[in-house]
């Protein structure tokens, strides 16, 4: 059966109610992820005004962090999809069991990942051989500290996903808001040496982020146990191998997608270093603007995943498809408005991250490109959310890896290395990747081939 985003599957009353539900779920999710992003973006913004070379060093360190985060994506995606479908099926025991396993996995995986801090210095010199000694030293300080704090990051990411699966996007927002407010204050204080703190540069930025995430992890845990939809038992559930398997089977494709994408981004960074360290610095500013610009589309994608999963678990396929169409329209509208603002006023966004005239000049082009591609990004997040909500988590992985490794990296390398197109050439490869990835997912949704996965997870959730 073919499904179209251009066809209405709902009557006027149903469409209105679903739009309301999507916005109620998406707005807190958008706010939360903006705040989560700001935990890293505030580092970049403050360090960009502190020393652009330190900002660049921290940018390389964060590329490594994103690779390690791939495991957290597996747990959070698997937990969210399973909880949303079980919640829709009104299977309270299963919801509770999944939530407890999310807690176990977030703690264990966070502790394991923190061991990577012992090898942080060698990792940066191995992965970024083109960077100079100053950048590697500052990057290593930042990376080592951030990785020590991985358990807190793991708890915030995974438990936030568990709450969103039950339709609660407000609690993760509260935790992120408190953590981010603390981070901004500590960043300013520890980077520049204000309010009695010593000037610590990159190390201060990392320490501020870790302390903020520790506070956020405590808050999100308390809110999870207070959530009525999940209704956590005070007595821990027995560890179940089949439940662990379910979480990872559903979440592993998203994890592989994240890992392959993050590794590709790391290779892409080295391509930019071929042009110049300043080209990479301008690229990082462009990426930070992008990370803020796609938040509404990302939040709508999260809402689509949760609501599609809930309707799929309750065996209401028509309403699931109606959710996707309504969410897509909302994402396109908001993305278009943001895109116009970014394209017309790029310097307004760039100036948040640097006051270096040469960097502003170089970053202006990629930021305008971001503005022009907002509609594509909005479509990508909406369709990805739909496929994941139905349990089809493997196809987004495949399309993302194909687009990254067969389009972005080869095309970007050729245009930078052999045509001397610098940052612009690299971003041509990046945008070609985005168009292909979105087109593949769009065709997948239209084909209806995800129905087998949706029926399977529906049967297990009841």
Query: CA-to-CA distance for 230 and 100, rounded, in angstroms?
Result: 10
pLDDT range class, residue 462, cuts 50, 70, 90: low
Out of 2-6, 216-220, 429-433, 442-446, pick the least confident: 2-6
The predicted model gives 424-436 an average pLDDT of 92
End-to-end Cα distance, the chain: 24
Q: Is the dihedral of CA 425, 397, 436, 306 positive or negative?
A: negative
Q: CA 158 to CA 77: how far, in whole Å?
A: 8
Torsion (CA) 188, 192, 196, 197 in degrees, nearest 10: 90
Alpha-carbon Rg for the chain, nearest whole angstrom, is 21
Residue 125 confidence (pLDDT) = 67
Q: What is the mean pLDDT of the chain?
A: 86
**At 239, which helix (H) or strand (E)?**
none
**340 pLDDT higher than 70:** yes
Position 408 confidence tier, pLDDT thresholds 50, 70, 90? very high
Task: Give the predicted TM-score (pTM) of the model.
Answer: 0.75
Please tell me the distance from the alpha carbon of residue 152 to that of residue 285, in angstroms, as a whole number: 26
Taking CA atoms, 73 is separated from 34, 176, 256, 262, in Å, by: 17, 18, 9, 12
Question: Are 423 and 366 within 8 A, CB to CB?
Answer: yes
Contact 461, 85 (CB under 8 A): yes
Band of residue 459 on the pLDDT scale cut at 50, 70, 90:
confident
The H or E element that residue 455 is part of is helix 451-461
CA atoms of 300 and 227, how far apart (whole Å): 22
Of the candidates 128, 123, 461, the one whose C-alpha atom is nearest the C-alpha of residue 308 is 461
Instruction: Summarize pLDDT for 73-110 with one digit per residue, the tens.
Output: 889 988 998 999 898 888 988 999 999 999 999 999 99
Place of tokens 């202006």: 364
- As a whole number of angstroms, the distance between CA 214 and CA 197 comes to 20
- So what's the pLDDT on residue 158? 94
Higher pLDDT, 100 or 259: 100
Q: Is the pLDDT of residue 120 over 70?
A: no
- For residue range 350-395, list pLDDT tens digits in order: 887 777 788 888 888 888 888 888 889 999 999 999 999 998 989 9
Between residues 354 and 441, which one has the greater pLDDT? 441
- DSSP 8-class letter at 132: -
Residues 144-182 pLDDT 10s: 898 999 999 999 999 999 999 888 988 998 998 899 889
Query: Which pLDDT does position 25 carry in this prediction?
Result: 87
Question: What is the SS3 assignment for 371?
Answer: helix
pLDDT band at 185 (very low <50, low <70, confident <90, very high): very high
pLDDT at position 406 over 90? yes
Per-residue pLDDT band for 126 (boundaries 50, 70, 90) equals low
For the segment 40-51, what is each residue's pLDDT rounded down to a tens digit? 667 777 887 787
- Please state the rounded mean pLDDT for residues 273-293: 79
């Amino acid at each position: 059966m073919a499904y179209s985003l251009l066809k209405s599957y709902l009557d006027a009353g149903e469409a209105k109610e679903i739009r309301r539900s999507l916005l109620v779920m998406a707005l807190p999710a958008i706010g939360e992820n903006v705040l989560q992003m700001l935990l890293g973006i505030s580092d970049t913004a403050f360090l960009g005004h502190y020393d652009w070379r330190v900002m660049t060093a921290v940018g390389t360190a964060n590329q490594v962090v994103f690779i390690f985060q791939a495991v957290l994506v597996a747990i959070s995606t698997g937990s969210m999809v399973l909880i949303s479908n079980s919640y829709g099926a009104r299977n309270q025991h299963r919801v509770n069991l999944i939530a407890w396993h999310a807690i176990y996995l977030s703690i264990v995986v966070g502790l394991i990942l923190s061991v990577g801090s012992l090898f942080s210095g060698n990792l940066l010199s191995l992965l970024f051989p083109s960077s100079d000694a100053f950048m590697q030293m500052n990057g290593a300080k930042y990376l080592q500290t951030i990785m020590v704090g991985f358990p807190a990051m793991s708890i915030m990411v995974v438990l936030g996903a568990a709450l969103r699966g039950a339709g609660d996007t407000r609690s993760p927002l509260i935790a992120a808001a408190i953590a981010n407010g603390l981070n901004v204050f500590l960043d300013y204080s520890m980077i520049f040496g204000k309010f009695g703190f010593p000037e610590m540069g990159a190390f201060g930025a990392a320490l501020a982020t870790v302390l903020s995430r520790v506070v956020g992890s405590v808050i999100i845990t308390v809110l999870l146990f207070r959530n009525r939809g999940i209704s956590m038992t005070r007595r821990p559930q027995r560890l179940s191998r089949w439940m662990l398997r379910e979480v990872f089977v559903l979440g592993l494709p998203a994890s592989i997608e994240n890992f392959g994408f993050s590794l590709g981004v790391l290779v892409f960074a080295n391509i930019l270093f071929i042009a110049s360290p300043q080209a990479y610095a301008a690229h990082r500013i462009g990426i930070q603007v992008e990370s803020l610009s796609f938040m509404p589309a990302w939040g709508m994608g999260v809402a689509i995943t949760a609501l599609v999963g809930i309707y799929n678990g309750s065996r209401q396929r028509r309403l699931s498809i109606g959710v996707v169409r309504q969410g897509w329209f909302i994402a396109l509208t908001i993305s278009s408005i943001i895109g116009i603002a970014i394209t017309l006023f790029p310097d307004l966004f760039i100036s948040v991250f640097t006051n270096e005239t040469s960097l502003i000049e170089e970053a202006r082009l990629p930021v305008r490109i971001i503005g022009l591609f907002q509609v594509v990004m909005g479509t990508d997040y909406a369709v990805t959310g739909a496929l994941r909500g139905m349990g089809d988590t493997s196809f987004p992985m495949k399309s993302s890896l194909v687009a990254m490794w067969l389009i972005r990296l080869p095309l970007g390398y050729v245009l930078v290395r052999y045509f001397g197109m610098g940052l612009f050439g690299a971003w041509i490869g990046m945008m070609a990747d985005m168009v292909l990835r979105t087109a593949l997912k769009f065709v997948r949704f239209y084909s209806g081939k995800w129905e087998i996965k949706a029926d399977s997870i529906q049967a297990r959730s009841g």
